[in-house]
Chains A and B, each alone.
Chain A
Amino acid sequence: MIPIIKATILECIRDRKNLLFMIFFPIFLVILIGSVLTSIFEQENDKFTTEETYIYYLAEDSSKTKEILEIFIDALESEETSNLILKEVESLEEGKTKVQVNKEILLHFKDDTINVYSNDEELIKSSYIYGLLNGISNRLNSIMEVYKINPEKASEIISKISNNYIEEEEIAVNESPSSMNYYGVAEIGLMIFFFINYPLERIRNQRKSSLKDRIFLSGLSTTKYYLSLFMGFFIFSFTSVMVTYILAKLLLNINYGSNPIIFPLAVIPFLILVNGIGIIIPAIFKEEETTGTIINNVITPILTFLGGGYVALGEDLGGLLNIITNISPLRWFNRSIFRYVYSGDSSILKLWLTIGVVALIAFVLVIYIIGKRSDKLYEKYPSIN
């Protein structure tokens, strides 16, 4: 398997034109689109810091999160300069309508969870609210721990609590994504789609040139062949994306958060999907001449659009649209990074990584079945002795 992995990586690296394109084109796109849309993103930032913003909430049997809600209300009321206005809604549907139509924010307190409904176009607002709630939640948890050891100290902290966390969370507003920061993630994600062409084209070429026959003649099984290719393409694509990521960070000062592992982690499931599909298609469809065209000209642009690669899409677009946009790996990739970097929320990243693990298991299973079917065909045929 190692010779195939090595050869796959080397073959991709030797294709200099495509390699340079894959590394530098996202940087070019970030500069181009990021610059063009800077004013729009700045307007959003200004609007948030100067205009009044409504936050709707629905407290439903919220005994466990009640304290957070109360502190949150106190904090907003005591902050004179705050332009956040809290209003209660009667039902979840009413709140969701506010999010969809008015692009406001809805907080749904239920049992021990707080669901935040927001619109991706209002990422700055939702980031800010996330930050506030996380701050309150973390502090409450800390106080509970302190209380177990030193109740007096805990009371002292509680008395100060509502005065200082708005000031602290204002830092999050300053770090809200600029157009450069947004497209610094989204355009790299867009380019990841195009790594699908590497396995698609190379497997097709290896079949056409009988290189695949020669490799099989050496005794390598079908399963090992495809797994080796997967590893080779994955290592290559991951390394390429990392080069772009480092260049974007160094040259354009894109904000990928303080934890440098987050971006590479979010890339992994995306590349598992892209390379896995890029290998399974030619492994199943022998005449896949048109498949590549359909993927590049139809599927990739649609998934890119649904993922917010061209323009940022809303967070809550309504039932059906939510499902449709969730089909796009780019959307998962973007959201997992933005949520983590600007809100410290790792829930989407965790879900995205889980999707990656499931996709990897599914890919290995499909390749194993294809390999077994191919290698066991002999048993089906009668022999004449």
Chain B
Amino acid sequence: MKAVEIRGLVKKYDDTLAVNNINLNIEEGEIYGLLGPNGAGKSTTISLICSLLHPTSGTIKVLGEDIRKNALEAKRKIGLVPQVISVYTDFTAYENIRFFGELYGLRGSELKESIEEALEFTGLLEYRNKKAKEFSGGMLRRLNIACAIIHHPRLLIMDEPTVGVDPQSRNHILQAVKNLNKQGVTVIYSTHYMEEAEHLCSKIAIIDKGNIIVEGTKEELIDMVSDKRSLKIGLEDVYKINIDSLKNIEGVIDVSINENSLVITSSKEVNNLDKVIKKVTEQNVKITNLDFKEITLETVFLSLTGKKLRD
């Protein structure tokens, strides 16, 4: 069965087209990545799937339920981890999770067991009686997830769940997503961190300006841009370099600065390595390292949209 089936989905706000004729098929058991920059339409798409927003046109089916006809049935099969922290900050972790459990009709021993399970799953068992407002950013994110899984949803939608968290909490969250998926939960994972999408998702859709530009597995997406290569040049003083002079070299698609390195994306068809090296050395900057970078989803996104994910 398809977890989510979207046909011709459009969402307009006055003159702004937030979602433009999206078609999507997400199979049950997948971790499906929605990758795109801020404002690309990821959150709007998620709100539409959850029937929290009304589409201008199009159909959405969630686990076989048409949300237009059976919105209630569809909604109760979904767990939502919103982009912002959606908990009562004056409540303890236990009270927050219990609140959502009660909302979904859980009572008595079933409720207690589910709360314990959610706390354990997110690593918050020992902080159960601590108020949410005393939590760190990472712990709040984990509590946000715990509140979404209390009713054992078949579809978990996570909207940028790792924004602003420490690496330890991020790893914990990513591991939790994998574990949930192993238990059979379908996950829609929205992010603008391409490393997360690469690491987690079995299938990825790249969204920009309300359109799905491309959809496929990580390998399929990278194959699409196999005609490009990425050269990383380590420099002593990278800011002395005139980037525009490099962009004018034949075959160069993009030049960017990453810490102490220049990242130059260029066409595989054009052999321009000597020209690039010459241009750099002409500017009296010492090269410290030279490396051909692996093609990433960032390169894919750049190639398809002409801009970076975090622009």
Contact = CB atoms under 8 A, between A and B. Distances in A.
A258 interface: no
Interface stretch (B25-33, B54-62, B215-223, B284-292): B54-62
Interface string B77-108: 01010111111101100010001101110000
A383 B55 CA distance: 9
A217 B52 contact: yes
Interface stretch (B68-76, B182-190, B198-206, B232-240): B68-76
B163 to A, nearest CB: 13
Interface stretch (A9-17, A25-33, A344-352): A9-17
B297 interface: no
Nearest to A211: B86
Interface stretch (A243-251, A289-297, A316-324, A374-382): A374-382
B88 A385 contact: no
A324 B290 CA distance: 81
A209 interface: yes
29 contacts: A4-B103, A6-B99, A7-B88, A10-B88, A10-B90, A11-B90, A14-B91, A209-B85, A209-B86, A210-B82, A210-B83, A213-B47, A213-B80, A214-B80, A214-B82, A214-B148, A216-B52, A217-B52, A218-B76, A218-B103, A218-B104, A219-B76, A381-B55, A381-B56, A381-B68, A382-B57, A383-B59, A383-B68, A384-B7
A218 B7 CA distance: 24
B54 A381 contact: yes
A2 B78 CA distance: 22
Contacts of B71: 378
Interface residues of B, number: 38
Interface in A208-248: 208-211, 213-220
Nearest to A12: B90
Nearest to A376: B54
A260 interface: no
Interface of B: 7-8, 47, 50-52, 54-59, 67-68, 71-72, 75-76, 78, 80, 82-88, 90-91, 95, 99-100, 102-104, 147-148, 151
B86 A214 contact: yes
Contacts of B68: 378, 381, 383
Contact of B86 (A213, A220, A378): A213
